[in-house]
Structure 1
């Protein structure tokens, strides 16, 4: 059995922003993050359909 993660540290604190791949930070509720989340959800649904 794998290791259980009981504590996860991001080292950046939770100031309401998230880091992007280029190192910049944007608000977690920014339209860009909303779009990324929506695409991620669609991708998950497509994966379920392909698996079925």
Structure 2
């Protein structure tokens, strides 16, 4: 199982809850930085039951 997800260069301004929930069967806490035009963007997810 994956506990931490980090993606760079997502080229996305925003993510919907449906988009993020579909990435894993576990519950994740998600944070992201939007892209600037057609470059950049960071997505970070941490499995909620991994950290206390």
For normalisation by structure 1, the TM-score amounts to 0.25
For normalisation by structure 2, the TM-score amounts to 0.25
- Larger RCO: Structure 1 or Structure 2 (Cα < 8 Å, ≥ 6 residues apart)? 2
